[in-house]
Chain A
Amino acid sequence: MALSDVALRLRGRAVWADPARALLTLESFARTEADGGRDIASAARRVADVELRQHLARHAGDELKHAELFRRRAEELRAAGGAAAAAATAAGADVSGDAAYDLSRGRPAHEVDAHGFLTVGLLDELGEVPYVAMLHVAEERAARLFRVHAELVRDDPATRRIFEEILRDEQYHVAWTRAMLDRWRAEGRGDEVGRALKDARASRLWGAWKRLGARAGFNFGRLLLLLLYWTVLAPFGLAARRGRERPGWKAPRPPLSQDPRAQAGSQF
């Protein structure tokens, strides 16, 4: 088993051991699949190659179907109430779900939409070969991820059935993207295909590294702030409890400057 598979399995275990995280993960999967479906559907309308268009159209339909399957399952779990729904609600922003794909490729957030797909449509920016290479890399990863999840939800047959159904589609997605890349290789575009696959894999690794760094920094920062709260700020907190502001109408605050531009320029 590859090291990355071990990491996927460990992470998957953590997801399904925590009902809140499991529920949020299903919802995250639904959003990601829906975004993917929209982007691929848009690509399907733009390509001239008939074979590619047919594959993309079917692929987009699959993604949207997956989104619906995940969304419904998450809704069922929420509707059932109980620990998962309550914990997911209570966890709020503190707990994030896992994600099936990340197609941001390490790009800055403002260039991608909410779940990683470029708002302008990846196809327009990348071109056909890099787009299919990117899909191929992402689908390989998704197939591995969903296989792990399917094994980890043995005691939840409804969720397991969903993963198994999706896995069948993912096998098709990996197969058609590979076949398309092979066709381009056979047409003499091997270098272009190789470069596109290399770029797709490298950008995924770079994105993962950056996310790891950001998460570690964020958690360390929080720890420092918590220490600060119980040490330096505690006396101020106790003093502030006594100095609560009195309710009632307040007079409007006088402007900090008579110059309207300076007043508007102030952040305070």
Chain B
Amino acid sequence: MKLLGLSAFGRDAAAALVVDGAVVAAMAEDRFSRVRHDASFPRRAARACLRAGGLAARDLDAAVFHVKPLRQFERVLACQLRAFPRSAGTFARSLSTWLGDRLWLRGRIAADLGLPPDKVLFCEHHAAHAAAAYLPSPFDEAAVLVVDGAGEWAVTSLWHGRGGVLQPLGELHFPHSPALVYSAVTEYLGFPPGGGEQRVMELAALGAPRFLPWLNELVRWEEDGSCRIDQRPFRFAFDGERLFSRAFEQRLGPARAPGAPLRVAGADTRDADLAASVQRLVEEALLRLAATLHARAPCEALCLGGELALNQRACARLLRDSPFRRLWVPPAPGDDGAALGAALHVAAALDGAAANGRRWRQTRAFHGEAPDASELSGTPLPDDEAVLAALLAHLQRDGMVGWVRGAFEWGPRSLGYRSLLADPRGPDARARVNDAVKRRESFRPFSAVVPAERASEYFELPAGAEWPLRWMQISLRAKPRAAERAPAVVHVDGTTRAQLVHAAEDPLLHRLLLEWDRLTGAPVLLHTSLNLRGDPPVRSAADALALWERSGLPALVVQDRLLAR
């Protein structure tokens, strides 16, 4: 059975091709459109997935959209009416989008892909997230927690997965979602909701959670483990563009304008303190939800999906303090991953492959297209030895190098295939990377990449996180040795995010790290996605070349070509 999963119109549009229950290709639209977190219909990603699978749209058994649109419309309309008359300014905007476009999705998808309308199917949003979280996981039995912004009505859902079958246990409904509170605070802090949450998590390290008591008054927990959110300081129930209200600003002062200086030092530490407070709030929310889930599905393993699963500090806290002993987070737990989840869910429902022991298990996070470097001029690198030598030479000489190879990553993290690697030793390593390419806010940390077998020398590794550690999904406490030998990858609060590389899975990157150890005495490199500020990571050789032309990156390896200044 050949299914094309699609997600769009929420956050991070994507497409995923699933053939006989296994993933053939999965790609986010923003890699093609070059608009970060692009939520528009994923035409280019869909076509790229079909190309990767050697299929035409007519070969598909169905396309599966990640949401039931009429049920979502019911929620939108009901929430607009319930917010009367506060929703006067948003009703027309919201409804015109639906009436002009979203209500006619079946026809639109069919026309876009050239499919008959009866081949367009729909999957409930949280079922898609749950399928993306559980079905590819290594666990036969697991509890599944999905915490998300909004799909149809569900914002949090509990599931029990066993033998490839997902059983829903219960759900909380819109707008009572800690994820939406996190997004509202993200917007208040001047970062874009649906992408800026990562920066709030990083900013949290600089502050103290002094607003937590106030936030706890807004997010009330009931005895049954459900939560109720006071809607007065928020607008997300009816306004997707402005998530907090005047009441929020009356309590905390005016919101920070995007790009304005952060209030993190001196007399006014409001922004850092609010970030720390909301971070603590969602960590505790996830712990409560995990405890409720464990009571209903007492398993050893937890699969986590939805936007909040991208929060690496919360994931680390879950592993440390929840009743679950093992954790799995898919490489793309957000809305992009819902495209894959929708296809997997429908594949399981229609052909029963997963339930019959033919479950596809995710062992790699690279489902994109490979770059074609033939157009590039530059020094040819005939084999892996030459690539390795070039990377090491430029790391030593210039302190950093860009590396583009193979299929690009599925999910928001760059894992060595569209990456910028840098020497993490000097006190100015971060500043040099920022000056040359990244131009990030100064408070933002960089990640580390380290051979799996050497990681415990530098970082405290929790048990039960084999896969999240491969895909940089949990934050780790750095050991003194890391602070001493690779200070650029240690955040101000002593944590770090590290990718652990196994020799059997990525021998070239693993060898690079061991060679770097031989040269410098530490097998740790600074590691970040290869993109300019505001852009998604590069996809093609042309994207890489454009970055090269616009940045001060001293050297770039694209497949078997070296560009050096």
B416-469 residues at the A interface, CB under 8 angstroms: none
A91-118 residues at the B interface, CB under 8 angstroms: 92-94, 110, 113-114
Cβ B121 vs Cβ A264 within 8 A: yes
Q: How many residues of B contact A (CB 8 A)?
A: 73
User: Chain A 166-189 against B: per-residue CB contact (8 Å), 1 yes, 0 no?
Assistant: 000000000000000000000000
Q: Which A residues lie within 8 Å of B222 (CB)?
A: 247-248
Q: Chain A interface residue count: which class?
A: 35 or more
User: Chain A 239-268 against B: per-residue CB contact (8 Å), 1 yes, 0 no?
Assistant: 011011101111110000000110111111
Taken together as a complex, chains A and B put the C-alpha atoms of A3 and B84 apart, in Å, by 45
**Shortest Cβ gap from A119 to chain B (Å):** 6
The 8 closest A-B pairs by CB, nearest first: A237-B84, A78-B259, A252-B168, A85-B257, A240-B81, A225-B92, A81-B260, A247-B228
Select one of B34, B173, B226, B349 contacting A260, CB under 8 A: B349
Cβ A38 vs Cβ B546 within 8 A: yes
Q: Which A residues lie within 8 Å of B242 (CB)?
A: 90, 92
Other A-B contacts than A75-B259, A92-B241, A119-B33, 18 sampled, CB-CB below 8 A, are A41-B549, A79-B260, A81-B260, A85-B258, A89-B258, A113-B33, A221-B92, A230-B88, A237-B84, A237-B87, A241-B82, A244-B82, A250-B153, A250-B172, A252-B168, A260-B350, A264-B62, A266-B122
Cβ A251 vs Cβ B170 within 8 A: yes
Taken together as a complex, chains A and B put the C-alpha atoms of A205 and B527 apart, in Å, by 48
User: Chain B 83-126 against A: per-residue CB contact (8 Å), 1 yes, 0 no?
Assistant: 01101100111011001100001100000100000100111000
Cβ B64 vs Cβ A41 within 8 A: no
A158 at the interface (CB under 8 A from B): no
**Shortest Cβ gap from B226 to chain A (Å):** 5
B485 at the interface (CB under 8 A from A): no
B375 at the interface (CB under 8 A from A): yes
Q: Which B residues lie within 8 Å of A113 (CB)?
A: 32-34, 44
Cβ B88 vs Cβ A119 within 8 A: no
Q: Which A residues lie within 8 Å of B99 (CB)?
A: 221, 225
Cβ B91 vs Cβ A229 within 8 A: yes
- Measuring CB to CB, which residues of chain B are less than 8 angstroms from any residue of chain A? 32-35, 38, 41, 43-44, 62, 64, 68-71, 74, 78, 81-82, 84-85, 87-88, 91-93, 95-96, 99-100, 105-106, 112, 118, 121-123, 153-154, 168-173, 176, 190, 222, 224-229, 241-242, 254-255, 257-261, 346, 349-350, 375, 534, 542-543, 545-546, 549-550
**Shortest Cβ gap from A79 to chain B (Å):** 4
Cβ B44 vs Cβ A119 within 8 A: yes
The answer to whether A237 and B85 touch (CB under 8 A), given A221-B99, A267-B68, is yes
Cβ B96 vs Cβ A218 within 8 A: yes
Cβ A64 vs Cβ B84 within 8 A: no
Q: Which B residues lie within 8 Å of A229 (CB)?
A: 87-88, 91-92
27 contacts between A and B (CB under 8 A): A46-B375, A60-B549, A67-B550, A68-B550, A75-B259, A79-B260, A81-B257, A85-B259, A89-B190, A89-B257, A114-B35, A221-B96, A222-B96, A225-B95, A229-B88, A233-B91, A237-B87, A247-B229, A249-B225, A250-B153, A250-B170, A250-B173, A260-B349, A261-B350, A265-B121, A266-B68, A267-B69
Select one of B70, B82, B261 contacting A268, CB under 8 A: B70
Residue of B nearest to A260 (CB): B349
Q: Which B residues lie within 8 Å of A218 (CB)?
A: 96, 100
Q: Which A residues lie within 8 Å of B100 (CB)?
A: 218, 221
A35 at the interface (CB under 8 A from B): yes
The answer to whether A267 and B122 touch (CB under 8 A), given A64-B546, A236-B81, is yes
Q: Which B residues lie within 8 Å of A226 (CB)?
A: 88, 91-92
**Shortest Cβ gap from B492 to chain A (Å):** 22
- Measuring CB to CB, which residues of chain A are less than 8 angstroms from any residue of chain B? 31, 34-35, 37-38, 41-42, 45-46, 60-61, 64, 67-68, 71, 75, 78-82, 85-86, 88-90, 92-94, 110, 113-114, 119, 218, 221-223, 225-226, 229-230, 233-234, 236-238, 240-241, 243-245, 247-252, 260-261, 263-268
Taken together as a complex, chains A and B put the C-alpha atoms of A226 and B96 apart, in Å, by 10
Cβ B84 vs Cβ A265 within 8 A: no
Q: Which A residues lie within 8 Å of B81 (CB)?
A: 233, 236-237, 240
**Shortest Cβ gap from A236 to chain B (Å):** 6
Taken together as a complex, chains A and B put the C-alpha atoms of A68 and B257 apart, in Å, by 21
Taken together as a complex, chains A and B put the C-alpha atoms of A218 and B332 apart, in Å, by 35
Select one of A37, A89, A252 contacting B171, CB under 8 A: A252
Cβ A264 vs Cβ B350 within 8 A: yes
Cβ B259 vs Cβ A114 within 8 A: no
Q: Which A residues lie within 8 Å of B228 (CB)?
A: 247-248
Taken together as a complex, chains A and B put the C-alpha atoms of A241 and B83 apart, in Å, by 7
Q: Which of A37, A68, A248 has the most CB of B within 10 A?
A: A248
The answer to whether A86 and B257 touch (CB under 8 A), given A38-B546, A114-B38, A249-B226, is yes
Q: Which of B78, B176, B226, B549 has the most CB of A within 10 A?
A: B549
Q: Which A residues lie within 8 Å of B227 (CB)?
A: 247
Cβ B346 vs Cβ A264 within 8 A: yes
Cβ A247 vs Cβ B170 within 8 A: no
**Shortest Cβ gap from A120 to chain B (Å):** 10
Cβ B350 vs Cβ A249 within 8 A: no
**Shortest Cβ gap from B231 to chain A (Å):** 9
**Shortest Cβ gap from A233 to chain B (Å):** 7
Cβ A110 vs Cβ B43 within 8 A: yes
The answer to whether A85 and B44 touch (CB under 8 A), given A64-B546, A221-B96, A248-B226, is no
Q: Which A residues lie within 8 Å of B257 (CB)?
A: 78, 81-82, 85-86, 89
